């Protein structure tokens, strides 16, 4: 992979660790460096050395139709030509796109579009804490949420560390992340029902939200065991129902909900 090596050496001079995301560095398993991609078409992409890959990352989620789908490409070109590139202000397509999401996802009532998963997750964490009046988050070991925002900035794992059915201590993900943030996290091990059940039994009434993904893909793809996601949803719903009616009817709750709904929070 001579071409990727040469580009990596160039990148390291101007980009920390030689990649635009920590998830694409040696710390997350790209040893000794990631392949540098030249182009993609459909479900496949090719690196600068000519190696072809099936692209399971798909832009970390949104590219479910693959690379350069002709309908998507044409729609992007038409929008840029007719409207502009990017606005730092509201525009009509947001209003048209919002109902599409609401109609597609039964649990969604309102939508705020963000330009990254980290920003979207920050909104969700703040909303959960405001609505429940609780401060603790459950964030599983071996997930892509590790250390990405000030809301969830702690981690205890590396991709090569074996997954064991225990609850590890909470450690700040690195310099610049206060240890106090780690103290708001509980870290059961992914795919281990017992460690999650123990957390919910002991501290379920203190937990504002459970943060997870259906499949953990930054670790090489860890699929959920049968019944595991259903367990998470069931216990999370039970914890919400135990949130006292006095909390949900309190002035603080009403004020937080109204501020978040109106966008003034």
pLDDT at 146 over 60: no
Separation in Å, CA 223 to CA 2, 3, 42, 43, 128? 33, 33, 24, 20, 26
Mean pLDDT confidence for 107-135 = 87
pLDDT at 13 over 50: yes
Phi-psi region of 58 (alpha: psi -120 to 50; beta: other; left: phi over 0): left
Lowest mean pLDDT: which of 9-18, 118-127, 165-174, 175-184?
165-174
CB 46 within 8 Å of CB 53: yes
Q: What confidence tens digit (pLDDT) does each residue in 200-250 have? A: 999 988 999 998 888 877 666 788 999 999 999 898 888 777 665 555 556
pLDDT at 167: 45
Query: Given the DSSP bridges, would you call strands 185-186 and 136-139 parallel, antiparallel or unpaired?
Result: parallel
CB 177 within 8 Å of CB 162: no
pLDDT at 96: 92
Element (H, E) at 53: strand 52-54
Lowest mean pLDDT: which of 15-19, 53-57, 244-248?
244-248
Q: Judge if pTM exceeds 0.75.
A: no
Compute φ and ψ for 32, nearest 5 degrees: -85, -10
Mean pLDDT of all residues belonging to the chain:
80
pLDDT at 147 over 60: no
Give the single-character DSSP code of 26: G
Handedness of CA 222, 106, 125, 61 (dihedral sign): positive
pLDDT at 172 over 80: no
d(CA 62, CA 225): 24
pLDDT at 151 over 70: no
Where residue 170 falls among pLDDT bands split at 50, 70, 90? low
pLDDT at 249: 58
Of 66, 64, 63, 91, whose CA–CA distance to 79 is shortest?
91
Higher pLDDT: 210 or 251? It is 210
Lowest mean pLDDT: which of 31-45, 131-145, 148-162?
148-162
- For the chain, percent of residues with pLDDT exceeding 90: 34
Compute φ and ψ for 52, nearest 5 degrees: -105, 140
pLDDT at 149: 36
């Amino acid at each position: 992979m001579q071409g990727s090596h040469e580009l990596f050496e160039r990148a390291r001079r101007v980009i920390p660790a030689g990649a635009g995301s920590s998830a694409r560095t040696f710390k997350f398993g790209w040893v000794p460096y990631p392949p540098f991609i030249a182009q993609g078409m459909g479900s496949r992409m090719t690196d600068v050395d000519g190696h072809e890959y099936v692209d399971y990352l798909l832009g970390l989620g949104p590219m479910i139709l693959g690379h350069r789908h002709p309908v998507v490409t044409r729609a992007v070109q038409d929008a840029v030509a007719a409207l502009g590139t990017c606005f730092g202000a509201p525009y009509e397509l947001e209003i048209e796109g919002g109902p599409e999401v609401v109609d597609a996802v039964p649990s969604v009532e309102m939508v705020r579009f963000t330009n990254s998963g980290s920003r979207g997750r920050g909104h969700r964490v703040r909303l959960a804490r405001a609505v429940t009046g609780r401060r603790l988050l459950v964030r599983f070991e071996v997930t892509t949420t590790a250390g990405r925002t000030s809301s969830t900035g702690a981690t205890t794992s590396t991709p090569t560390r074996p997954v064991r059915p225990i609850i590890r201590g909470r450690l700040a993900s690195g310099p610049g992340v206060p240890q106090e943030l780690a103290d708001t996290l509980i870290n059961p091990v992914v795919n281990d029902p017992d460690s999650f059940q123990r957390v919910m039994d002991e501290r379920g009434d203190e937990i504002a939200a459970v943060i997870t993904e259906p499949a953990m893909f930054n670790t090489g793809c860890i699929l959920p065991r049968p019944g595991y996601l259903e367990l998470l949803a069931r216990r999370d719903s039970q914890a919400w129902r135990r949130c006292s009616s006095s909390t949900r009817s309190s002035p603080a709750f009403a004020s937080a909900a109204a501020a978040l709904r109106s966008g003034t929070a």
